[in-house]
Amino acid sequence: MKTKFLCLVTLLFLGSNVGYAGTYTDSAHGNSTYGVERTTTAQYATGHCAHCHKQHAGIDGTESGHTGGPDNYLLFNTNHVSQTDNFCYSCHGDGTFYTNAITNYSYSRIFGGDTGNSVDDIKEAFDLSGSTHDLADILIKLKTDWPSTFNDNSNPCSGCHNPHLVQKKISSNTYSADKSALSRPCNHDELWGDTDGSVDKERMDEYLGASEYYRAPFYVRANSALQITTHEPDRISRLYSEANGFNLTNFVAFCLDCHSSSIGTVKAIDWSINGDVHGKAFKSGGTDNGNRMAPYTADGTNGTLEDTNKNFVLSCMDCHEPHGSSNPKLLRTEVNKKTDISFSGGQFNNFCNGSCHSSTHNESTTSCAECHYHGNNL
Ligand code: HEC
Ligand code: HEC
Ligand code: HEC
Ligand code: HEC
Ligand code: HEC
Ligand code: HEC
C-alpha cells in the first residue's frame, strides 16, 4: 500500500508524460480534447491526472458533496462508499463536479437504438428499481477471486473498467471496434475487445465454426425484410452473414470471469456444449421448435424460416444490460428490434416472444423462463 502511495505521488509530480504515457493519453480520460476536466481544477490541461488525483495530500481536502474519509489513492472523492455514492459518479453521475455533464446511455440505447430508454448517466443505471449489479457484492467477488489486483480500497467499477485505459467506442457517431471501455477482472492492466485474432479471442467471431455461429441482432430501425440491413453494434448496413461479431467484444469470456461459478444465490452460467442452448449447446430439435425469427433465418430476413442448420451462440449483451435495468435480471429494454417488452405478472414471455422467437407453445399460460432458464439446458 505504502509503495503504491509513493509511486502515485511521484507519478503525479512528474506529470502525465511518464508512467502511463502512451496508454493513458490514448484513453478517454487522458484525451486532451474531451478527457477529464473538472470545474475546480481548470488550471490543469484537459486529460491531466490532477482532475482525478490530488497532488497535495488530500488528507482532508474536500469539495462540497464529498462523503467518507480521506482516500487512499489521493482521489478528490472517496473511491467507493455505496451503490449511489462512488468516485466515478462525480463525473458520470449528476455532474456536480464536472464542467459539462457527461451523457452515458444504456447498452440498449447506444447499440440497439432504443431512444425510449431514458437512462442517461451511470449513477442512474446503478440506482434503477428493476435490477442492478450490486457494487458491494462485486467488490467482494473481486477481492476474493483476484486478491493481488483488488483490495478493500478498490473501486468496484474497476473490476470491469481500468480508469487509466478506458476508451470511447463511439465518437461523433462513429463506432470503433478497436477501442474498448473494458478490462477483464482477470487482466486488469489490458483492454479487452480492442484486438481481434485467433489467439486473443477478444471478439464474438470467436464463435464462428463448423458447429457454432454468432449473428448480431438487428438494430432497432433495421428492415427485417432485407438481407442487407443494420445490425448491432455499429448500426451499419451489411449482409446478414457479415454481421458475424467480428466487431463485437467477446462478452461471453468477459462476463464468465465472474459468472462461470455461482455467486451466492445467483446460479453459474455454462455456455459450453454441455450447457445452455443460447450458448454452444445444440438445440434439441424436438417437435416443439419455438421458431427463431430473423436474423436467425436461412437468409437473415423474415421471408424465410429459421436456419435449422446453424447452432447460434449468443452474446450475453444481446439480452443483458451491464449496469442496471428497469427490467428484472438486468434484461435489456430492447432486444433484436423489439422495444415494447413487458414483464407484467412476472412473465418473461413478452421478452422472448416476438423478439427472437415466434413461439408455438405456452405463450400466455406460463412464463417461458419457468422451463427455459440458464442451467436447464432446454
Ligand atoms: C478518471 C479518473 C482518473 C484519472 C484521470 C487518473 N486516475 Fe489514477 N486512479 C484512479 C482511480 C479510481 C484509482 C484507484 C484504483 C482503482 O480503484 O481502480 C487510481 C489509482 C492510481 C494509482 C495506484 C495504482 C493503480 O493503478 O491502481 C496510480 C499510480 C495512479 N492512479 C496514477 C495516475 C496517473 C499518473 C494519472 C495520469 C497519467 C492518473 N492516475 C489519472 C482514477 C484516475
Ligand atoms: C460487471 C461489469 C461492469 C461494472 C461493474 C461496471 N461496468 Fe461500466 N460497462 C460495462 C460494460 C459491459 C459496458 C459496455 C461496454 C461497451 O460499450 O463495449 C460498460 C460501459 C460503461 C461506460 C460507457 C457508456 C457509454 O456511454 O458508452 C461507462 C462510462 C461506464 N461503463 C462506467 C462505469 C462506472 C462508473 C461503473 C461503476 C459505478 C461501472 N461502469 C461498472 C461493464 C461494467
Ligand atoms: C473528472 C471527471 C471523471 C471522473 C472522476 C471519471 N470519469 Fe470517466 N470519463 C470522463 C470523461 C470526460 C470521459 C469522456 C467522455 C466523452 O467525451 O464522452 C470519460 C469516459 C469514460 C469511459 C469511456 C466512455 C465512453 O464514452 O465510451 C469510461 C468507460 C469511463 N469514463 C469510466 C470511468 C470510471 C470507471 C471512473 C471511475 C473509476 C470514471 N470514469 C471517472 C470523466 C471522468
Ligand atoms: C467482477 C465480477 C462480475 C462480472 C465481470 C460480471 N458480473 Fe454479473 N454479477 C456479479 C455479482 C457479484 C452478482 C451478484 C450480486 C448482484 O445481484 O448484483 C452478479 C449478478 C448478476 C446478475 C443477476 C442480477 C439480479 O438481478 O439478480 C446478472 C443478470 C448478471 N450478473 C449479468 C452479468 C453480465 C451480463 C455480465 C457481463 C457484462 C456480468 N454479469 C459480469 C459479478 C460480476
Ligand atoms: C412448460 C414448459 C415450457 C414453457 C413454459 C415453454 N417451453 Fe419452450 N420448450 C419446452 C420443451 C419441453 C421443449 C422441447 C425440447 C425438446 O424438443 O427436447 C421446448 C422447446 C422450445 C424451443 C426449441 C428449442 C430446441 O432446443 O429445439 C424454443 C425456441 C422454445 N421452446 C421457446 C419457448 C418460448 C419463447 C416460450 C415462452 C413463450 C416457451 N418456450 C415456453 C418447454 C416449455
Ligand atoms: C437469450 C437471452 C439471454 C442471453 C443470451 C443471456 N442471458 Fe442471462 N438471463 C436471461 C434471462 C431471461 C434470465 C432470467 C431467467 C433465468 O434465470 O435464466 C437471465 C438471468 C441471468 C443471470 C441471473 C441468474 C440467477 O440465478 O438469478 C445471470 C447471472 C445471467 N443471466 C448471466 C448471463 C451471462 C453471463 C450470459 C452470457 C454468457 C447470459 N446471461 C446470456 C437471458 C439471457
Indicate the SS3 state at residue 144.
Answer: helix
pLDDT at 43: 85
pLDDT value for 67: 57
Distance CA 12, CA 310 (A): 54
- Decide: 169 in ligand 4 pocket, CB within 6 A: no
Angle subtended at Cα 43 by Cα 41 and Cα 48, rounded to the nearest 5 degrees: 70
Residue with CA nearest ligand 2 atom 41: 157
Residues with CB under 6 A from ligand 3: 28-29, 34-36, 38, 51-52, 87-88, 90-92, 98, 102, 155, 157-158, 161, 163, 166, 168-169, 181
Whole-number Å distance between alpha carbons of 91 and 87: 8
pLDDT given for residue 61 in this prediction: 43
d(CA 255, CA 250): 9
* Nearest CA, atom 13, ligand 5: 288
Q: What angle do CA 180, 186, 188 make, to 5 degrees?
A: 50
Q: Is the CB of 126 under 6 A from ligand 2?
A: yes
Q: Atom of ligand 4 at shortest distance to CA of 159?
A: 1
Report pLDDT for 68. 57
Amino acid at 354: G
CA distances in angstroms from 191 to 130, 147, 279, 316, listed in the order given: 30, 20, 24, 18
In the chain, which residues have pLDDT < 50?
A: 1-6, 14-19, 57-62, 64-65
Look at residue 130 in the predicted model and tell me its pLDDT: 96
* CB proximity list for 137: less than 8 A, separation 6 or greater: 263, 264
Which of 80, 77, 45, 85 lies closest to 61 in space, CA to CA?
77
The rounded distance, in Å, linking the Cα atoms of 308 and 188 is 39
| Dihedral angle of Cα 132, 133, 134, 136, to the nearest 10 degrees | -150
Atom of ligand 1 minimally distant from the CA of 48: 37
Ligand nearest to the CA of 153: 1
- Give distance in angstroms: CA of 249 to centre of ligand 1: 24
The pTM assigned to this predicted structure is 0.95
User: Cell 476508451, residue?
Assistant: 167
Helix, strand, or coil (residue 38): strand
